[in-house]
Amino acid sequence: MVEHGNVIAGRTVLLQGTGGVSIFGLQLAHAMGVQVIITSSSDEKLARAKKLGANYGINYKSTPDWEKAATDFTDGRGVDQVIEVGGAGTLTRSFGAIRVGGKISLIGGLSGPATELNPGLILARRANVQGISVGSTQMFEAMNLAIAANGIKPVIDKVFGFDQVQAAYRHMASGAHFGKIVIRVAV
Ligand SMILES: NC(=O)c1ccc[n+]([C@@H]2O[C@H](COP(=O)([O-])OP(=O)(O)OC[C@H]3O[C@@H](n4cnc5c(N)ncnc54)[C@H](OP(=O)(O)O)[C@@H]3O)[C@@H](O)[C@H]2O)c1
């Protein structure tokens, strides 16, 4: 959101789902005064996201064309940035959610790695799509400063011991979690 999106207070970001990446994204966006639209398969999780500062929640099961609901929320303009974690199953709709000149930060592929994409979508939206992996040490330090200054505490769903690794992965695969799952490495 900072390095690729260049979003500032008042801009709008769309986050997909309520897993570790998206909930941390929500906390950071909220601290920056950025408007957040978040999607989830669960109304209960959307309610929790709103308590953390999300401005608008869309259930992607009951509203499969969530990109239209996101566009309506922005009065037809479209969002400034999508933090794309869905991948194949969500990317085409993300082009429908962004404003002209909007950005898609491609981080994950929860719904599978491959899809057919119409290149016309990139052209029509004058979209900027950037793959995101790790950042630099400088970016990490800047993020940590923002976390400390805003007193952000990560939302941790459950902590597992190192001897419970399989249970931790099963919990993640179930999709029941909200925020991060921790495997404690140190004793
Ligand atoms: N590029 C990088 O540096 C980097 C770093 C970390 C993670 N990742 C990748 O980013 C993705 C997310 O990681 P994570 O740790 O946040 O995962 P996670 O905690 O397992 O998040 C899963 C959540 O995403 C939502 N979701 C699942 N399938 C979806 C779909 N088809 N459409 C929309 N939402 C969907 C669900 O939320 P609801 O239950 O609310 O529906 C689910 O609970 C993964 O693919 C991961 O590999 C990349």
Question: Does residue 86 have its Cβ closer than 6 Å to ligand 1?
Answer: yes
Mean pLDDT of 172-179: 96
- Residue 182: CB within 6 Å of ligand 1? no
- Tell me how far apart the alpha carbons of residues 7 and 34 are, in angstroms, rounded to a whole number: 7
Lowest-pLDDT range, 111-115, 126-130, 181-185? 111-115
pLDDT at site 98: 98
What sections of 13-118 are H helices per DSSP? Answer: 20-31, 43-51, 66-73, 91-97
pLDDT of 187 > 80? The answer is: no
Nearest-angstrom CA–CA distance, 94 and 84 = 8
- Residue 166: strand, helix, or coil: helix
**pLDDT of amino acid 115:** 80
102 ligand 1 Cβ < 6 A: no
Calculate how far, in angstroms, residue 72's C-alpha sits from the geometric centre of ligand 1. 24
As given in the structure block, the two tokens for residue 179 are 């925020």
Measure 59 CA to ligand 1 centroid, in angstroms.
Answer: 15
How far, in Å, from the CA of 175 to the mean position of ligand 1?
9
Q: Max CA-CA distance within the chain?
A: 53
Q: What is the pLDDT of residue 106?
A: 96
Write the pLDDT tens digit of every residue in 17-48: 999 999 999 999 999 999 999 999 999 999 99
How far is ligand 1, taken at its centre, from the CA of residue 76, in Å? Answer: 27
> In terms of C-beta distances under 8 Å and separation of at least 24 residues, what long-range contacts does 126-131 make, across chains too?
126/100, 126/101, 127/95, 127/98, 127/101, 127/102, 127/103, 128/101, 128/102, 128/103, 128/104, 129/103, 129/104, 130/4, 130/103, 130/104, 130/105, 130/106, 131/106
On whether the pTM is more than 0.75, the answer is yes
Residue 134 alpha carbon, nearest atom of ligand 1? 3
Pairing of strands 98-106, 35-40: unpaired
Q: Quick check: CB of 5 below 6 Å from ligand 1?
A: no
Residue nearest ligand 1's atom 28 by CA: 110
- pLDDT tens digits, residue range 122-161? 999 999 999 999 899 999 999 999 999 999 999 999 999 9
Q: What are the helix (H) ranges across 33-130?
A: 43-51, 66-73, 91-97, 119-125
CA–centroid distance, 23 to ligand 1, in Å, is: 10
Distance 85 CA to ligand 1 centre (A): 5
Question: Over the chain, what is the mean pLDDT?
Answer: 96
